[in-house]
C-alpha cells in the first residue's frame, strides 16, 4: 500500500511540472496614425494578467474611444488577458467650440452653441458684426468698411482696422466695436453712449471716450493702454490698476470719489480735476510732469516725490499747506482758492506763472522767481509785495489785498496790472518812462496815484 501512495504522489508532481504557461498577445493600432500613441503598444502577457493602456493624443488631437478588443472612452483603460487582443485607439481632431470643424482649419473659433457653420467653421453671427446704431454704421460706410445700413457689417472688413475716429457722430450705441480686435486707437469722444465695452479690444494703446454719458468703464483687459481720456462723463469709479503702461490719464469732470494710481508708475500726465476726491496719493508717480487736481475736496496733497513736475494745479480744494520745495522743475503753479496761510516758492526758480489767489496769505516772497511772467495773488491779506527782482513780469494781479506800498519801477515789461481794492495803497512807485506812458492795461483804485517816489 505504501508503494502505491508514493507512486501516485510522484505522478501528480511530475504532471504539474510539465503544465505549460499560457500567454496571449496584445496588439494596439492607432487611427489616424498621426493622432497619438498608446503604451504599451504590443506584447505577450500571461493569462489573467491585467494590462493598463494609456492613450496619449498628439498636439492637435484628442482621444475619442477604444474599439476592437477594448471599448469605451476611459483613458487609461484596463484589459484582462484571456485571449489574444487586437485593440484600436481612436483619436479625432480638436474641435474646441464643437461646431463640427476641427480647430486647425476653423476660421471662426468660439462659435456660439447651436449655430450652423460653413466649411470654414463660421456662422452668420461670426461672419457679420451686429451694428444696431445707424450713426455708427453710417460712419463705417463713410470709412469704406460697409456699403448699406442694415445693422450688419462684414467682420472681415473691420477685424484688422488699427485706428478709428468717431468724434461727434451722435452715436448712442457702440455695439460692434468689440469685433475691431486689432484696434490700437479708438477715438469716440463727443457722442451720446452710456456704456462702452472694450474688453475684446486688447491691443488698444489709446482710448479717448470723453464727453459722453458713461457711468461705468471697464479697462481691466486693456493692459496695453498708454493713454486714457474719459473726461466729462458720469463715472463714479474707475479701476486702472491693470493699466501699468499708462502715461496719460485724463479723468477730469466726472463724479469720482477716489482714484488709485499707485500701479501707474509710468504716468507723466494726470488730470483728475472737478471730481469729488478727498485724497490723492501720487507718491509712486515719480515721472509726473503735469498734475491738475483742482476742484476737488483735498485737505492735503504731498508732491515731494514728484520732482519732475512742471505744472501743478491744485486750486479750489481745502488745502491748508503746500510744500513745493522739492519741485524745482515747476514752471506753472496754481493753488488758488484754498486755505493756505503760507507759501514758500523760494526753491521754484523756474516758475513762469504763479497763481495763489483767494487764500489767507499775509506775506509772499517771490524774489527768487526771476523768470515770472504771470503773477496772480488777489484776494489774500498781503500788506507788502517786493517784485523788484521780477523784471520779466508781463501780468500781475494783486487786487483785494491790504497793500500799503507797491514799487513797479523795475517791471518794465508789465502790461497788465490790477491792484484795485487795496484801500491803504495811496502811492504806486514807477519809473519816468512808465509815468510818461502808463499802460492802458493797468488798473488801480482812484485813491492811489503813480509817482517816481513814494513816502
Q: Which domains does the chain have, with CATH numbers?
A: 21-94 (2.60.40.4270), 361-455 (3.80.10.10)
Is the pLDDT at 144 greater than 70? The verdict is: yes
Cell of 255: 463724479
Q: Which residue has the cell 489767507?
A: 360
Is the pLDDT at 404 greater than 80? The verdict is: yes
How would residue 12 be classed by pLDDT, with cut points 50, 70 and 90?
A: very low
How would residue 19 be classed by pLDDT, with cut points 50, 70 and 90?
A: low
The pLDDT value given to residue 104:
85
The pLDDT value given to residue 18:
58
The pLDDT value given to residue 306:
97
d(C-alpha 413, C-alpha 396), whole Å: 11
Average pLDDT of span 290-319:
97
* Partners of 91 in beta bridges: 63
Q: Phi, psi at residue 341, to the nearest 5°?
A: -105, -20
What percentage of residues in the chain have a pLDDT greater than 90?
81
What is the 8-class DSSP label of residue 72? B
Q: What is the pLDDT of residues 343-381, one digit of tens each?
A: 999 999 999 999 999 999 999 999 999 999 999 999 999
The pLDDT value given to residue 101:
87
Mean pLDDT of the chain: 93
Q: Which residue has the cell 494590462?
A: 51
- Nearest-CA neighbor of 423 among 454, 451, 447? 447
Long-range contacts, 403-406 (Cβ 8 Å, 24+): 405/429, 405/454
Radius of gyration of the chain (CA): 41
Q: What is the pLDDT of residues 160-198, one digit of tens each?
A: 999 999 999 999 999 999 999 999 999 999 999 999 999
Q: What is the pLDDT of residues 250-270, one digit of tens each?
A: 999 999 999 999 999 999 999
How would residue 7 be classed by pLDDT, with cut points 50, 70 and 90?
A: very low
Which residues, in sequence order, are CB contacts of 118 under 8 Å at separation 6+?
none
- Nearest-CA neighbor of 274 among 302, 293, 250, 248? 293
Amino acid at each position: 500500500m505504501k508503494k502505491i501512495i508514493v507512486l501516485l504522489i510522484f505522478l501528480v508532481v511530475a504532471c504539474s511540472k510539465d503544465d505549460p504557461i499560457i500567454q496571449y498577445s496584445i496588439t494596439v493600432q492607432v487611427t489616424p496614425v498621426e493622432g497619438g500613441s498608446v503604451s504599451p503598444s504590443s506584447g505577450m502577457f500571461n493569462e489573467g494578467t491585467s494590462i493598463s493602456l494609456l492613450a496619449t493624443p498628439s498636439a492637435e488631437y484628442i482621444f475619442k474611444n477604444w474599439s476592437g478588443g477594448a471599448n469605451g472612452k476611459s483613458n487609461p483603460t484596463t484589459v484582462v488577458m484571456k485571449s489574444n487582443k487586437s485593440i484600436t485607439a481612436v483619436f479625432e481632431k480638436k474641435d474646441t467650440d464643437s461646431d463640427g470643424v476641427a480647430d486647425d482649419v476653423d476660421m471662426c473659433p468660439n462659435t456660439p452653441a447651436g449655430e450652423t457653420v460653413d466649411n470654414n467653421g463660421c456662422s452668420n453671427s461670426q461672419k457679420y458684426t451686429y451694428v444696431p446704431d445707424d450713426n455708427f454704421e453710417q460712419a463705417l460706410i463713410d470709412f469704406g468698411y460697409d456699403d448699406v445700413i442694415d445693422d450688419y457689417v462684414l467682420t472681415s472688413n473691420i477685424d484688422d482696422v488699427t485706428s478709428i475716429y468717431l468724434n461727434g457722430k451722435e452715436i448712442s450705441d457702440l455695439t460692434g466695436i468689440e469685433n475691431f480686435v486689432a484696434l490700437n486707437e479708438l477715438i469716440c469722444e463727443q457722442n451720446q453712449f452710456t456704456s462702452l465695452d472694450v474688453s475684446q479690444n486688447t491691443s488698444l494703446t489709446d482710448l479717448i471716450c470723453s464727453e459722453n454719458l458713461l457711468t461705468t468703464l471697464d479697462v481691466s483687459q486693456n493692459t496695453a493702454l498708454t493713454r486714457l481720456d474719459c473726461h466729462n462723463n458720469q463715472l463714479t469709479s474707475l479701476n486702472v490698476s491693470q493699466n501699468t503702461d499708462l502715461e496719460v490719464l485724463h479723468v477730469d469732470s466726472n463724479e469720482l470719489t477716489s482714484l488709485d494710481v499707485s500701479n501707474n508708475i509710468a504716468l507723466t500726465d494726470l488730470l483728475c480735476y472737478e471730481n469729488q476726491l478727498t485724497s490723492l496719493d501720487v507718491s509712486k508717480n515719480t515721472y509726473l510732469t503735469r498734475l491738475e487736481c483742482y476742484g476737488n475736496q483735498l485737505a492735503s496733497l504731498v508732491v515731494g516725490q514728484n520732482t519732475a513736475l512742471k505744472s501743478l494745479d491744485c486750486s479750489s480744494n481745502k488745502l491748508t499747506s503746500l510744500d513745493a520745495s522739492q519741485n524745482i522743475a515747476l514752471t506753472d503753479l496754481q493753488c488758488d482758492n484754498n486755505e493756505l496761510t503760507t507759501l514758500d516758492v523760494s526753491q521754484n526758480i523756474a516758475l513762469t506763472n504763479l497763481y495763489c489767489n483767494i487764500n489767507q496769505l499775509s506775506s509772499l516772497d517771490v524774489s527768487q522767481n526771476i523768470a515770472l511772467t504771470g503773477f496772480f495773488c488777489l484776494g489774500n491779506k498781503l500788506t507788502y509785495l517786493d517784485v523788484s527782482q521780477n523784471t520779466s513780469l508781463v501780468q500781475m494781479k494783486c487786487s483785494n489785498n491790504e497793500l500799503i506800498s507797491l514799487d513797479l519801477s523795475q517791471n518794465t515789461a508789465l502790461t497788465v496790472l490790477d491792484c484795485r481794492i487795496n484801500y491803504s495803497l495811496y502811492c504806486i512807485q514807477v519809473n519816468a518812462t512808465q509815468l510818461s506812458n502808463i499802460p492802458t492795461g493797468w488798473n488801480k483804485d482812484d485813491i492811489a496815484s503813480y509817482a517816481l517816489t513814494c513816502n
